[in-house]
Structure 1
Amino acid sequence: MENIIKLNQKNLAEIATRIPCPTYDRSKIKTGIVHVGIGGFHRAHEALYTDQLLHDPSVTDWGICGVALLDFDTKIYNILKEQDGLYTLIVKELDGTHTTRVIGSIVECLFAPENPIKVIEKMASPEVKIISLTITEGGYNYNEATKAFDFSNPLIQHDLEHPQAPKTIFGYVAQALKLRKERGLKGCTIQSCDNIQGNGHMTKRMLLSYVKRAEPDLTGWIEANVSFPNAMVDRITPATSPVDIANLTETTGIDDAWPVVCEPFKQWVVEDDFSAGRPAWETVGAQFVDDVVPYEKMKLSLLNAGHSVLGILGALVGYDTIDEAVGNPNISAFLNHYMDVEVTPVLGDLEGINLKDYKQSLLKRFGNINIKDQIDRICSESSAKFPIFILPTVNAQLEKNGSVKLAAFVTAAWAIYSLGKDEQGNALTIKDAMKDVLHEKAEASIERPQTFLDLESIFGTLKDAPNFVEAYTEAYRNIVNRGVEECVKDLNSNILNNN
């Protein structure tokens, strides 16, 4: 397309003749939310809900200041800064069409490594009522074995020694809350938007663990003035590819260096516990409830775990995208059995939710051929995801002496995956903070498969559960000898024959 136009505030009026854009005056929007972690998911989820809300002329005080926390985030920060916080959201519909619009709710951007004090001051400013987070499961610095905050993390040690130049979310939030207390300001809400069961409880527990050592006099004030609502978030948001960027330019003539692509489905269920007020997100589709637990347990154990199952098995077979894995009838049948046989019996009461329909909807969403969710993205940071998505199901089944065979199979597949090659010998792209440790344990597991389970920070005491270890060891040897697909065929047949 001729007449390519760069996405920024100056060009917004012209861009609005091509695709929907914010119709509110962004210069009049005040920052009420500081959001840490301005990657794809936040921009497809909370930022979208907020953008929709800002189209109400009466709403002017809930703009978002996006914070890039890590050195790794330099690229996204520079792009959003150049684009005045604007970006295009591309919804890939099931019928193959794309729905595009420009999102304008991020009205400020800060790069924490460049100016830590500026970020702390922004979090402490009186107009900011919410500090929200998408810092990934691993960002909460939680040890699965001890159930405690990990003070051995070098970045945490740095923050304790250099409180005015922090590197972690805990260092930033602690200093911001300290300023609010010292200045006689109200507290605020710390809102996790990450895939962790009881994410608000986890955030509070980890922050208070840090604060008790870093700023012990602040503990009581946080308890009295800061709220930590639990929330369940859901929208499949694959990494943006160069093809996505090129297609946007070709079809609309808009030059956006980092648009966001996502599926049409979205869900946000939030505990209504905000200490300093909140946006009326319920008017644009969010759901506020007294208890999030049933929703988040269902979603983490089925959707997020399902993604990991497809990712790990699909990676070993040699697939690149999740829809390819779902398209394999043996793997999709395995996932169905895993959800029915091992997850569903331990979910408890889910009043008002049709589980059968929900599970079927997941397979349709995973199979959206237009999303092309990369398997290496789904498998990234599995060391942080496994304890949250899969192990609660395993532990609940072990307590009732139930089935763990399918989860053990996935765990064995992950151990083999961690060697770094698929079944054809092709190298796998493994992105994990524990990559080296995982690889070391995986190599040792060639001789003694259960060595992989010795990683207590991930598996806790699972190595002491004979039923699981036996199923895991058998699965490991079967996968090595026969490959994933032959093994899941047999498992599927055995389940059907036993029902």
Structure 2
Amino acid sequence: MPDRLTRRTAPARTGIVHLGPGAFFRAFQAIYTAEAMAAQGGDWGILAVSLKSPTARDQLESQGGAFTAVELGPEGKSARVIESITGVLVAPENPEAVIAAMADPGVRIVSLTITEKGYCHEPATGRLNRDHPEIRHDLKNPDRPQSAPGFIVAALARRRADGVKPFTVLTCDNLPSNGRLARGIMLDFARARDHDLADWIAAEVPFPATMVDRITPATTPADIEALAASEGYLDPACVMHEPFRQWVIEDDFADGRPAWEVAGAQFVRNVEAHEAMKLRCLNGTHSTLAYLGYLSGYETIAETVADPAFAALCNRLWREEILPTVPRPEGEDLPAYCAALLDRYRNPGIRHRTWQIAMDGSQKLPQRILGTVRDALAAGRVPSGLCLAVAGWMRYVGGLDEAGQAIDVRDPLAAQLRAASDSAQTPAGKVAALLGVAQVFDPALAGDARFRTAVTEAYDALAGQGARATVAAWTSAG
């Protein structure tokens, strides 16, 4: 057995606390930060905080926070060690240590990659879900929080009481207008706790929006074994990623930031057009491929788009339904961006599982697909391809694949969605029941007869012909 990876350099002083030290953070922000400090220095070491599991701490602690990032290119792999993480805390083990770390005056940024469900909000409205169990707990126990909003507001309250400048809250999750959304959620929580604190946060704390993009498949035991064979050390914290990366950030920070631009980050005044481009063009088709590809028996995105029908599905969705709703970001060629996306999906080195992308669909669907659907309907177009994607999600959360085998549906609303699907026997009944899940579908969209009819027809086709045949029929009709 090879020795574990060990840190080679002394850690920088901590300037960032990051909530959610999963694979994406390590393959993205941790790398940008390491490159920025290598180029221009600065006290921007990252203290990582896991809000749930001790896994990241257990993987990274004995390695001094170091880990290996493995780039999966079409021609092969390349590995490098990243040392921007200074330590890892597990929030449930010591909530006070997390609050104290975030309240330290040396910390100038608190960043997040906690996925959509970590914001404890209603995806259909974007507002804080005050009935969420963690939010109820945190409002009753403000010094022992469990949620990201609870920790952030507790730390800001302490900084305010100590007369310390606030930190910047930098969300790096795939949510539309993610900075504004995070700000609204934090203010909702703060108002429920202390109106004066909420007013201070509203006046003093920046919430810059960002757009993040890098495909990061889940690391497997085989990946860890292959790295040990090639590099001569064991690193259970290693991450896999594609060569491409893009980070667009609104340049609005309370007390400085790393020189991320030297690592290729783009600083802009308004990130919304870039956000819309990525959420709708990439994430929208990614989710479409995940549900319809899984139902067709494909394990990965690369396998899915190797099927000409699914490549044609992406191209038609972009051309006819998605791009007409996307404002062109400065410096971007939208058709060229979509063509590059298809090349990225085809990368044989990236084994991005359809099942992995399909997780937490109830939280993702409103941002990735339903916003595009609403815009198309408002313009007088019925986006039948995206309605097919919605029907694919409905089939998936029903919990049985086309062979009658159980699907391991990972979603915070999994039981509710399965119950809604099981409450009816006909496609029309199942669609109606699932459209009634208000956490996902706002009533105006759910009540639109054009949308309801198109989703029902698509569900009926999926149930009768199967996903692969339905996709082939839809693309050939275009």
TM-score range, shorter chain: over 0.9
Distance 1:146 1:69 in 2: 24
Letter in 2 for 1:37: G
Match of 2:10?
26
TM-score by length of 2: 0.97
Secondary structure of 2:70's counterpart equals strand
Distance 1:445 1:460 in 2: 21
Secondary structure of 1:456's counterpart equals coil
Match of 1:5?
3
Contact 2:325 2:375 in 1 (8 A): yes
5 Å-filtered alignment, 1:311-390, equals: 311-390=290-369
Match of 2:401?
422
1:69 aligns with 2:51: yes
Match of 1:22?
none
Match of 2:288?
309
Q: CA deviation at 1:146?
A: 4.2
Contact 1:245 1:257 in 2 (8 A): yes
Q: 1:139 aligns with which of 118, 131, 134?
A: 118
Q: What's the RMSD between the two structures over aligned residues?
A: 1.3
Q: 1:191 aligns with which of 141, 153, 170?
A: 170
Q: CA deviation at 1:445?
A: 4.3
**CA displacement 1:10-64 (0-9 Å, x = unmatched):** xx3xxxxxxxxxxxx424x1100000000000001110001112223x5131100
TM-score by length of 1: 0.93
Distance 1:148 1:66 in 2: 26
Match of 2:386?
407
* Counterparts in 2 of 1:147 and 1:59: CA distance versus 1, 3 Å: closer
Match of 2:462?
479
1:489 aligns with 2:468: no
Letter in 1 for 2:72: K
Q: CA deviation at 1:401?
A: 1.2
Letter in 1 for 2:337: Y
Distance 1:124 1:348 in 2: 39
Letter in 2 for 1:474: E
Q: CA deviation at 1:425?
A: 2.7
Distance 1:224 1:200 in 2: 15
* Counterparts in 2 of 1:460 and 1:144: CA distance versus 1, 3 Å: farther
Distance 1:327 1:426 in 2: 24
Distance 1:341 1:446 in 2: 33
1:216 aligns with 2:195: yes
Contact 1:342 1:397 in 2 (8 A): yes
Letter in 2 for 1:444: S
Letter in 2 for 1:326: V
5 Å-filtered alignment, 1:159-174, equals: 159-174=138-153
1:51 aligns with 2:51: no
Match of 1:151?
130
**CA displacement 1:284-340 (0-9 Å, x = unmatched):** 111101111111100000101111011000110111111111111112211211111
**Which ranges in structure 1 are unaligned for 5 or more consecutive residues?**
13-24
Match of 1:246?
225
98-107 or 138-147: bigger deviation:
138-147
Contact 1:318 1:424 in 2 (8 A): no
Secondary structure of 1:369's counterpart equals coil
Secondary structure of 1:264's counterpart equals coil
**Count of residues in correspondence between the two structures:** 474
Contact 2:111 2:169 in 1 (8 A): yes
Letter in 1 for 2:284: A
Contact 1:192 1:231 in 2 (8 A): yes
Match of 1:464?
447
Distance 1:143 1:251 in 2: 45
254-263 or 216-225: bigger deviation:
216-225
Q: CA deviation at 1:145?
A: 4.0
**Which ranges in structure 2 are unaligned for 5 or more consecutive residues?**
none
Q: 1:82 aligns with which of 48, 62, 67?
A: 62
